[in-house]
Amino acid sequence: MDIEDIYNLIPDFMCTDGCHECCQNFGVPSRTQVEDQRLEAFLRKNSMKPGKAKGTTCPYLDEKGCAIHPARPLICRLYGTSPNYRCKMKVAPVRLLHEDEEADIFYLYQTHFF
Ligand code: SF4
């Protein structure tokens, strides 16, 4: 199983234009080793440097949004898509995940990538 197989279980989510509410409140997003490697590869490929913590704001948030969007970790993808991670701005995917689907995603994530 690849990490992308788990990402593919998460519904697409269209943020409100210009909103970065969630990226300003949780600091550096948690990642597994595999996600760190994906992030490092993305940074290398794009001649970028690892971000430094900025209080509660994610180091990868810039004026245009998430600077590492294709390589963002699972928690960033999950936010807003399940009842336990509702977007404060009340944006949601067409079909919100059921709590059991969210639990399955975490189970797969933890059993394969921790
Ligand atoms: S990695 Fe990207 S999506 Fe995740 S919190 Fe940081 S800026 Fe937001």
The pLDDT, as a whole number, for residue 112 is 97
Atom 4 in ligand 1: residue holding the nearest Cα: 76
- Region 84-109: mean pLDDT is 95
Please report the atom of ligand 1 found closest to the CA of residue 59. 6
Q: CB of 68 closer than 6 A to ligand 1?
A: yes
Strands (E), 1-114: 61-62, 65-66
Q: CB of 74 closer than 6 A to ligand 1?
A: no
The candidate with the shortest Cα–Cα distance to 92, out of 12, 33, 4, is 12
Mutate to test the pocket of ligand 1, among 64, 72, 81 (most ligand atoms within 8 A of CB): 72
Q: CB of 61 closer than 6 A to ligand 1?
A: yes
pLDDT in tens, 26-58: 888 999 999 999 999 999 999 999 988 789 999
Answer yes or no: pTM beyond 0.85: yes
| Average pLDDT over the chain, rounded to an integer | 94
